[in-house]
Amino acid sequence: MSEPLNTDGETSIPKVWAIDVHAHYGTYWRTHNEPLTNDFHSASADEVARRARAARIAWTVVSPLSGLLPRGDADAALGNTEAARIVPDCPGLLQWVVIDPTREATYSQAEEILKEPHCVGIKIHPEEHVYLFRDHGRRIFEFASKHRAVILTHSGEANSLPADIVEAANEFPDVRVILAHIGCSDSSDRTLQVRAILQSTRGNVYADTSSAMSMTPGLIEWAVGEVGADRVLFGTDAPLYATSMQRARINLADLDDNAKRRILRDNALSLLDIPETHATTAENR
């Protein structure tokens, strides 16, 4: 994809068509929330795609909120079926297929959906599906290895500790895994995802910038300084957070343009094997 140049010959980062590796669509639901608060965090697939285009994001990889929420009672299989129907018809969106290891049907379902060109890998969420990663992680990684699939996993809380996830990644060097939410933890420790990457012995562990933690001053810059820009991918966690805000965080980060370009786009192109037709379509939209 062609990119505009500044007068000094450098690519203008705000003009780069980014790839958002971590987003959702649908209805957000927390029983303790006021209805309006849930509404603020909800958006249709079309609206998620519209906000992404406005922020110059070419492709947004989504999982359906209906497959994750409400906590402990979501029907991941139904959500996958819905996403497999909606995503291919929504320009700008690609799909993560959700595996909930407590629901056996999601494995066979994922086996079929992973064959589709709009599906780029597997999403797991031990917190929302209420299981310990360490109890199910090996089977999930075995499945991903068999199908040569990338895994995006929620990380940082009790059921999804990055230290547990990196153990599985070290055992399965052919499986590439993205730890969601740099800085996320159930304490004040913002280092869990970065430390896990440093503990990786196979070079197959990455992390994304999604969620409100990325707004912490210096956090993304520190992470890049520790693990390198090649290990960090752009994510928004839309529609839970403002897509434009997340994009601006990387555009204006205290990083050089090469690092920003890798985070915003190049790492995702390499990691997710997005077909060239997908990678270049945005400039024609």
Convert the pLDDT of each residue in 6-45 to its tens digit.
334 446 999 999 999 999 999 999 999 999 999 999 999 9
* Per-residue pLDDT, 281: 54
User: Does residue 282 lie in a domain region?
Assistant: no
Spatial distance between the Cα atoms of 94 and 115, rounded to a whole number of angstroms? 13
For the domain that residue 102 is a member of, what is the CATH number? 3.20.20.140
What angle is formed at CA 164 by the lines to CA 158 and CA 166, rounded to 5 degrees?
Answer: 135
In whole angstroms, how far apart are CA 231 and each of 105, 120, 160, 204, 209? Answer: 32, 18, 19, 9, 11
Calculate what percentage of the chain has a pLDDT beyond 70. 92
User: Does residue 243 lie in a domain region?
Assistant: yes
* Per-residue pLDDT, 211: 87
Whether the Cβ atoms of residue 274 and residue 59 lie closer than 8 Å to each other: yes
One-letter amino acid at 158 equals: A
Domain extent for 254: 17-275
Spatial distance between the Cα atoms of 189 and 205, rounded to a whole number of angstroms? 19
Structure-token pair, residue 229 = 């820009």
Structure-token pair, residue 152 = 């995006």
Structure-token pair, residue 52 = 């992404």
User: Does residue 2 lie in a domain region?
Assistant: no
Beta bridge partners of 72: none
One-letter amino acid at 200 equals: S
Structure-token pair, residue 129 = 């599906």
Mean pLDDT across 137-153? 98
* Per-residue pLDDT, 279: 53
One-letter amino acid at 184 equals: C
User: Does residue 11 lie in a domain region?
Assistant: no
Spatial distance between the Cα atoms of 285 and 191, rounded to a whole number of angstroms? 39
What angle is formed at CA 98 by the lines to CA 285 and CA 27, rounded to 5 degrees?
Answer: 70
Which residue carries 């897509």 as its tokens? 243
Question: pTM for the whole thing?
Answer: 0.94
Which residue carries 């291919």 as its tokens? 88
> Average model confidence (pLDDT) for the chain?
94
User: Does residue 12 lie in a domain region?
Assistant: no
User: Does residue 233 lie in a domain region?
Assistant: yes
Reported as type and span, the H/E element at residue 95 is strand 93-98
User: Does residue 136 lie in a domain region?
Assistant: yes
Mean pLDDT across 102-108? 98
As for how many domains the chain has, the answer is 1
User: Does residue 1 lie in a domain region?
Assistant: no
Beta bridge partners of 143: none
- The tens digit of pLDDT for each residue in 42-93 reads 999 999 999 999 999 999 999 999 999 999 999 999 999 999 999 999 999 9
